[in-house]
C-alpha cells in the first residue's frame, strides 16, 4: 500500500499542473481581465482598483493618464474602454498586474510561487490571498462536514429500511421523495426555505444571511453555539435535501445485493434471528462501499452545492470568495482558490481509495494498475 500511496501522491503533481494550466489559458485569454476592470473603474466610478493604481503608480491623476486619441491607438485595440488614455499609463497598468510578461512566463512564475503556497495579493481586496483563503475556509469546511454527517445519518437508516421493506408502500412513497430530492437542485430548495422561513412571504423563524449574528462575539459560549446552529439550519437543510437521495439508493442497493448472498441464506438456515442476520452479517459487508465513499462525498459537497448555498445565504466562505473573485477578475484570488480546491479534492480522493483498501482488503488498486 505504501508504494501505491507514493505513486498517487506523485500523480497529484502532473494532475494539479494540468488543471492549473487549462484554467490559466482559458481565464487569462478571456476578455474583461483585471486591466480592463481597472480601466473601467478609473474612467467610471473608481473603486478598489483605482486605489491600487494610486498606491502603485505614485499618485497619478486622471489628467496625467489622459493622452491624445492618436497616442492610444494600440491600447484601444487591446483593451476595451481605453480610448484617450496615455499609452505609458496602460503599460504601467500592465506592469502592476503582471501583464507585461508573456503568457508562458506568467504561468511559470505563478506555479513557482504556488509550490510554496505564495498566492500573492488580491487585486481588489488588498490582502494576501493565503490570508483570505484561511479566513474563509472554516465556513466551507463547517458546511461540508455538517452536511456530510447529517446526510449519512439520514441516508443509511433510510436505505436499510427501504431494503428490508423492498416493494412495500413505505418503499414506494420514500422513493417518490427521493425522486423529488434528486430532480430539484439544492439551491432551489434554499430559495424556497428562505421564502417560507426567513421572512420572505410567511414566517421569519431563521436568519436571512450570515453564519452568526452581529453581536456573536459578545455572547456567552452557550449562546454562541445556539446562535451558530440557528444560522446553520436553513443552509444545511437545503444541502442535505439535495444530497441524501444518491446515498440512500446506494445503501438500499448495497443491502439488497448482500441479502441475496449465499452466506445470508446459510445464517438463516442456522436459525439466527432476522435482526442478527441483518445487523451482524449484512450490515458489515453492505456498509463497506458506503463508508469508504465518505471522502468523495465530502469533495462533492464542498466543491458543488456549497458554492451556491454560500452565495444564496451570504455565507462568507470559499465558494462566495471564489464567485466574487471570478466576477471581479481577481486573478490571484481565482487561481489561489482553484489551487486549494484542486489540491484538497485530489488528496481527499486518495484518502477515499485508501479507505476502500483498509475497509475491504479484497480491493487492491495497486495490483490492478500493475
Quick one: what percent of the chain has pLDDT higher than 90? 2
313 touches 211 (CB < 8 A): no
* pLDDT value for 261: 79
Over range 42-50, report the average pLDDT. Answer: 52
- Classify each residue of 235-250 as buried b or exposed e, where b means 16 or more C-beta atoms within 10 Å of its C-beta: bbbbbbbbbbbbbbbb
148 touches 294 (CB < 8 A): yes
Report the first-to-last Cα separation within the chain, whole angstroms. 13
Alpha helices by DSSP H, listed for 57-207, are 62-65, 73-78, 87-97, 103-114, 129-164, 169-183, 186-197
**Pick the residue with more confidence: 303 or 316?**
316
Over range 104-114, report the average pLDDT. Answer: 88
CA–CA distance, 27 with 120 (Å, rounded to integer):
17
Of the pLDDT bands very low, low, confident and very high (cuts 50, 70, 90), residue 109 is confident
Note the residue count of the chain: 370
The pTM for the full model equals 0.70
CA–CA distance, 325 with 85 (Å, rounded to integer):
26
Mean pLDDT (the chain, rounded): 76
* pLDDT value for 22: 92
**Pick the residue with more confidence: 294 or 346?**
346
318 touches 341 (CB < 8 A): yes
pLDDT in tens, 307-317: 778 888 888 88
Q: What are 365's three cell numbers?
A: 488498486
CA–CA distance, 236 with 309 (Å, rounded to integer):
9
Q: Of 148, 136, 152, 183, which Cα lies nearest the Cα of 299?
A: 148
Of the pLDDT bands very low, low, confident and very high (cuts 50, 70, 90), residue 297 is low
Own/partner long-range contacts of 73-81 (Cβ < 8 Å, ≥24 apart): 79/35, 79/36, 79/39, 80/31, 80/32, 80/36, 80/39, 81/36, 81/39, 81/40, 81/43
Architecture, CATH, for domain 130-369: Orthogonal Bundle (1.10)
Least confident of 46-50, 158-162, 194-198, 332-336: 46-50
With cell 490571484, the residue in question is 332
pLDDT in tens, 124-140: 777 888 888 888 888 88
CA–CA distance, 76 with 31 (Å, rounded to integer):
13
* pLDDT value for 318: 78
**Pick the residue with more confidence: 91 or 82?**
91
In the predicted structure, residue 63 carries a pLDDT above the cut 60: no
How many of the other CB atoms lie within 10 Å of CB of 296?
Answer: 17
In the predicted structure, residue 46 carries a pLDDT above the cut 50: no
Over range 180-193, report the average pLDDT. Answer: 81
- Domain parsing of the chain, residue ranges: 28-100, 130-369
Highest mean pLDDT among 90-99, 128-137, 289-298: 128-137
Amino acid at each position: 500500500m505504501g508504494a501505491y500511496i507514493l505513486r498517487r501522491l506523485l500523480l497529484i503533481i502532473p494532475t494539479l499542473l494540468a488543471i492549473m494550466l487549462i484554467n490559466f489559458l482559458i481565464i487569462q485569454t478571456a476578455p474583461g481581465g483585471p486591466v480592463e476592470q481597472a480601466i473601467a473603474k478609473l474612467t467610471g466610478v473608481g473603486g478598489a482598483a483605482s486605489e491600487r493604481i494610486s498606491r502603485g503608480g505614485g499618485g497619478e491623476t486622471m489628467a496625467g493618464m489622459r493622452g491624445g486619441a492618436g497616442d492610444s491607438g494600440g491600447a484601444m485595440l487591446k483593451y476595451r474602454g481605453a480610448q484617450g488614455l496615455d499609452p505609458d499609463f496602460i503599460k504601467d497598468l500592465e506592469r502592476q498586474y503582471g501583464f507585461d510578461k508573456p503568457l508562458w512566463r506568467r504561468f511559470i512564475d505563478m506555479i513557482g510561487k504556488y509550490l510554496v503556497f505564495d498566492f500573492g495579493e488580491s487585486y481588489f481586496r488588498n490582502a494576501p490571498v493565503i490570508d483570505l483563503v484561511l479566513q474563509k475556509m472554516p465556513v466551507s469546511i463547517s458546511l461540508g462536514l455538517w452536511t456530510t454527517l447529517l446526510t449519512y445519518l439520514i441516508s443509511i437508516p433510510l436505505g436499510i429500511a427501504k431494503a428490508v421493506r423492498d416493494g412495500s408502500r413505505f418503499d414506494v412513497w420514500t422513493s417518490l421523495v427521493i425522486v423529488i430530492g434528486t430532480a430539484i437542485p439544492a439551491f432551489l430548495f434554499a430559495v424556497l426555505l428562505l421564502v417560507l422561513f426567513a421572512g420572505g412571504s410567511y414566517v421569519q423563524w431563521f436568519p436571512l444571511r450570515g453564519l452568526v449574528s452581529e453581536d456573536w462575539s459578545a455572547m456567552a459560549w452557550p449562546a454562541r453555539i445556539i446562535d451558530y446552529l440557528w444560522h446553520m439550519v436553513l443552509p444545511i437543510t437545503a444541502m442535505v435535501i439535495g444530497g441524501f437521495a444518491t446515498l440512500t439508493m446506494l445503501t438500499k442497493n448495497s443491502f439488497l445485493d448482500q441479502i441475496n448472498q449465499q452466506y445470508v441464506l446459510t445464517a438463516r438456515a442456522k436459525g439466527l434471528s432476522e435482526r442478527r442476520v441483518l445487523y451482524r452479517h449484512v450490515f458489515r459487508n453492505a456498509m463497506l462501499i458506503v463508508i469508504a465513499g465518505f471522502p468523495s462525498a465530502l469533495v462533492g459537497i464542498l466543491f458543488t452545492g456549497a458554492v451556491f448555498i454560500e452565495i444564496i445565504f451570504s455565507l462568507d466562505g470559499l465558494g462566495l470568495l471564489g464567485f466574487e473573485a471570478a466576477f471581479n477578475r481577481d486573478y490571484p484570488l481565482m487561481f489561489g482558490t482553484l489551487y486549494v480546491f484542486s489540491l484538497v479534492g485530489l488528496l481527499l480522493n486518495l484518502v477515499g481509495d485508501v479507505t476502500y483498501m483498509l475497509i475491504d482488503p479484497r480491493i487492491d488498486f495497486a495490483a490492478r494498475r500493475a
